[in-house]
Amino acid sequence: MSAMRPIWVIVRRELASTFTSPVAYVFLVIFLLLNGFFTFTAGAFFERGEASLASFFMWHPWLYLVLVPAVGMRVWAEERRAGTLELLLTMPIAAWQAIIAKFLASWIFLAVALALTFPAVITVNELGDPDNGVIFAGYVGSLLLAGAYLAITCMTSAMTRNQVVAFIVSVVLCLFLILAGFNPITDLLTRWASPTFVDAVAGFSVMTHFDGFQKGVISLRDLVFFLSVMGFALFVTGVILRNHRAG
């Protein structure tokens, strides 16, 4: 419990800082507007004639590709730019506590943004009789997907004090995790590679693991994948920050 106390102190500080900034509310508005556009217009929600949020979740890997790095790019880059990283690392807390705390604060913010999409759930329940278990699984998968992108962005943010560089690098890395299991890519690979190799490449894709959640299946394999991506990215973040402190 004592180890968690400084983590929650930092989490509260970060959240307070986030929600006192108008940028946070601009992000929330943009996030909700884009979700609405992709769900009801681009996703042809009403034309589908079915009571489901398939058109809602199918766009999240692509929507998060830009929006999540926009949230996470400043996590460590801003600390380095402002020269407060050294101060933070000399405080009586372990580096891993600071890393987890700043990650959790941003993840909670993304969870709030996702929770604000509840009108879509109400809408689909008013129009029909959807399987809310599938919708719940989709939300769980969406939150894990956002966490994986965020952890990668935290890693790139620790590499540089330039937020734009952190944003671009994280977008490229997250795009790779999408394309690894994207059907046109896997179809191309099957022309010259063995099915085992294609399956191995697809196994690194967020699309492969997010697909199960969209179908209402919360499997241990998919949970482990997303948690592993988060754990690995945050571990690398710690290595980068320790090297920065040593340097």
DSSP line for the chain = -TTHHHHHHHHHHHHHHHHTSHHHHHHHHHHHHHHHIIIIIIT-HHHH-SSS-HHHHTTHHHHHHHHHHHHHTHHHHHHHHHT-HHHHHTSSS-HHHHHHHHHHHHHHHHHHHHHTTHHHHHHHHHHS---HHHHHHHHHHHHHHHHHHHHHHHHHHHH-S-HHHHHHHHHHHHHHHHHTT-HHHHHHHTTTS-HHHHHHHHTT-HHHHHHHHHTT---HHHHHHHHHHHHHHHHHHHHHHHHHHH-
The predicted-structure confidence for 51-77, as pLDDT tens digits, reads as follows: 788 889 999 999 999 999 999 998 888
pTM of the model: 0.90
pLDDT at 95 (0 to 100): 82
Number of domains in the chain: 1
pLDDT at 89 (0 to 100): 67
User: Percent of the chain having pLDDT more than 70?
Assistant: 93
Domain that holds residue 31: 4-246
pLDDT at 2 (0 to 100): 66
pLDDT at 66 (0 to 100): 93
